[in-house]
Amino acid sequence: MAYNEKVLDHYENPRNVGSFDKSDDNVGTGMVGAPACGDVMKLQIKVGDDGVISDAKFKTFGCGSAIASSSLVTEWIKGKSLDDALTIKNKDIAEELALPPVKIHCSVLAEDAIKQAITDYKKKQ
Amino acid sequence: MKLPIYMDNQATTPVDPRVLELMLPWFTEKFGNPASSSHSFGWEADTAVKKARKQVADLIGADPKEIVFTSGATESDNIAIIGSANFHKDRGNHIITLVSEHKAVLDSCRHLESEGFDVTYLPVQTNGIVDLDVLAAAFTDKTILVTVMAANNEIGVIQPLTEIGALCKERKVYFHTDAAQGVGKCPIDVNAMNIDLLSISGHKFYAPKGVGALYVRRRPRVRVKPVMFGGGHERGIRSGTLPTPLLVGLGAACEIAQQDMESDNKRVFALRERMRHGIMEQLTHVELNGDLEQRLAGNLNISFNYVEGESLMMAIKDVAVSSGSACTSASLEPSYVLRALGVNEEMAHTSIRFGLGRFSTEEEVDFVVKTIVKAVNNLREMSPLWEMAQEGVNLDEIEWAAH
């Protein structure tokens, strides 16, 4: 399958790969997907006292589109408030990366990962 | 060394330059129709076709009269399975095949099911090979055909054709083998193996695409109904003007394969083992899919745990390979062949097929090993599953939300 340039760019130069300490109270962790389905995304956010996402990291097992989707959202959510981050929809991700229909589920996973990370963070507060 | 490197020789092979050279005159100056019996254009084409028929027959120990030229193994499989079943439906309606067969066989069988035939899809063992006791137990008094491939297209495992042929002969049941991946690469003798019908694909062994053959035994005579109708070419089994240049190519490829099989296999096998050792020694958590011994010399199918196959292919974009991952297909289902071996879905998603061939070099193998090791290490650094495994988390105990 030929890939869109933006997907290739994120795949070849993934932004914000890594992990935060998931026991840290300022960190929210979202883990979505399943190995059997061929994609698992872990997205972590670090939230400052002002309620703004100060940093984000990801690790992804999955195809190029899954890696690109998670890399892209780490960039997007940085500097956003939790409420603003929640407004990111899978459609926005799919449009930005020009994902073909068969790869739309990658963008859905990325949206879910954001939601789960925020839920996890809120639970800790 | 030229990039990209082609390592997908189970998908297709390039035409051998020696083959191409012999084909060329038959496109232009010697363009006659081999069926034109009234002039020299036809006669010379007919002579060329006769030679090709003998070259194909010789490679599999058959008589030239037993070779039916087709467009490739898919067509041969269709004629062999649908044609023989339809001819013998008064005698029985039961067919035996394997779950790991090529789609050309499986879908021909599915078609017959819709016409009232019963098909048994036998499982394979974890090494990809059919259990002969299971096969023997599957015969019924209605069984008319067993169709089992020679070598698997994904994992390269070679089925015990001689033993299967003997089981079929004892029971007077036709034995068809889809030998698209076997012919030209492993020794095949239709008489020693009691094969009644055998499918050949040219482009899998350095002949052009679009040409193949079906072996149809004459003694005792195997009957098939045609699936295509027309001028009655190829004893009425496959009508249509014979494509002389393609057949000259097929014949030449068969002759070269027969001459060079042993030396070719020795060289390709050494390269494959160099590759296997190179990968296995530098990476942990990698598994070979399919039997190591009963296997095509040029095939390696490896699961790289914790790394998804398609992303791995993107990382090694200078190397042309295939993946058993769902993400490379429209279906989103991982390889049914690997699933048939009992490989779990996760590991099927992480599999890569390397297909080495006549034109692969040691330099290419070393480059691929280096590239793949680097890519796997990088992607594992990016993989949450690898991270969890390193932390000692048992991934099987996690309740994943399937999507």
pLDDT value, residue B399: 81
What ranges in A26-89 are assigned the alpha helix state H?
64-77, 82-85
Name the DSSP letter for residue B81: I
On the question of pLDDT at A1 being above 60, the answer is: no
Q: Across residues A56-69, what is the average pLDDT?
A: 96
Assigned CATH class of B17-257: alpha beta
- Which one of A8, A40, A108 has the shortest CB-CB distance to B385? A40
- Which one of A35, A66, A108 has the shortest CB-CB distance to B346? A35
CA angle (B314 as vertex; B313, B318 as ends), nearest 5? 80
Number of CB atoms found within 10 A of residue B1's CB? 8
User: What are the CB-based long-range contacts (under 8 Å, 24+) for B88-92?
Assistant: B88/B144, B88/B145, B88/B174, B88/B223, B89/B117, B89/B144, B91/B144, B92/B140, B92/B141, B92/B142, B92/B143, B92/B144
Residue ranges of chain A whose CB lies within 8 Å of a chain B CB: 1, 3, 8, 11, 14, 17, 19, 31-42, 59-64, 66-67, 102, 105, 108-109
Q: Which residues of A touch B401 (CB under 8 A)?
A: 32-34
Distance between CA atoms of B134 and B319, rounded to whole angstroms? 39
Name the DSSP letter for residue A17: B
Residue B273's identity, in one-letter code, is: E
Residues B170, B171, B173, B179, CA torsion sign: negative
| B327 a catalytic residue | yes
B277 phi, psi to nearest 5 deg: -65, -45
Q: Which residues of A touch B308 (CB under 8 A)?
A: 38-39, 61-63, 66
CA angle (B42 as vertex; B38, B48 as ends), nearest 5? 145
Q: Can you give the pTM of this predicted structure?
A: 0.93
A5 phi, psi to nearest 5 deg: -60, -35
Tell me which residue has tokens 């932004």: A15
Beta bridge partners of B145: B95, B174
Decide: B69 and B242 in contact? Cβ < 8 Å.
yes
Tell me which residue has tokens 């309620």: A51
B254: its two tokens: 């068969």
B285-308: string of b/e by CB count within 10 Å (b at 16+)? ebebbbbeebbbbbbbbbbbbbbb
Q: What is the dihedral of CA B211, B161, B354, A41, to 10 degrees?
A: 110
Q: Across residues A11-22, what is the average pLDDT?
A: 95
CB contact under 8 A, A60 and B400: no
Decide: B144 and B92 in contact? Cβ < 8 Å.
yes
Residue ranges of domains in chain B: 5-10+261-392, 17-257
Decide: B313 and B321 in contact? Cβ < 8 Å.
yes
Decide: B70 and B228 in contact? Cβ < 8 Å.
no
CB contact under 8 A, B383 and A39: no
Tell me which residue has tokens 């890569």: B352
Select the residue from A6, A20, A37 to test the B interface by mutation, using most B Cβ atoms within 10 A. A37
Does residue B220 have a cis bond before it (omega within 30 degrees)? yes
- Which one of B326, B327, B384 has the shortest CB-CB distance to A40? B384
Closest CA to B233 of B34, B27, B85: B34
Decide: B372 and B316 in contact? Cβ < 8 Å.
yes
Residue A41 three-state SS: strand
The residue of chain B with its CA nearest to that of A17 is B382
Give CA separation, B342 vs B102, B296, B310, B328, in Å. 18, 21, 21, 20
On the question of pLDDT at A77 being above 70, the answer is: yes
CB contact under 8 A, B311 and A11: yes
The second-level CATH assignment, the architecture, of B5-10+261-392 is Alpha-Beta Complex (3.90)
B122: its two tokens: 């036998």
- Tell me if B5-10+261-392 shares its fold with B17-257: no
- Which one of B344, B345, B387 has the shortest CB-CB distance to A59? B387
Domains delineated in chain A: 5-124 (3.90.1010.10)
Q: State the burial class of residue B171 (Cβ atoms within 10 Å of its Cβ: 0-12, 13-18, 19+).
A: middle
Render each residue's pLDDT in chain B as its tens digit; 403 residues: 999 999 999 999 999 999 999 999 999 999 999 999 999 999 999 999 999 999 999 999 999 999 999 999 999 999 999 999 999 999 999 999 999 999 999 999 999 999 999 999 999 999 999 999 999 999 999 999 999 999 999 999 999 999 999 999 999 999 999 999 999 999 999 999 999 999 999 999 999 999 999 999 999 999 999 999 999 999 999 999 999 999 999 999 999 999 999 999 999 999 999 999 999 999 999 999 999 999 999 999 999 999 999 899 999 999 999 987 765 556 667 899 999 999 998 899 999 999 999 999 999 999 999 999 999 999 999 999 999 999 998 888 888 876 6
CB contact under 8 A, A38 and B328: no
ipTM: 0.94
A60 phi, psi to nearest 5 deg: -135, 135
Q: Which residues of B touch A67 (CB under 8 A)?
A: 311, 382
Distance between CA atoms of B233 and B222, rounded to whole angstroms? 17
Decide: B382 and A17 in contact? Cβ < 8 Å.
yes
Distance between CA atoms of B105 and B225, rounded to whole angstroms? 17
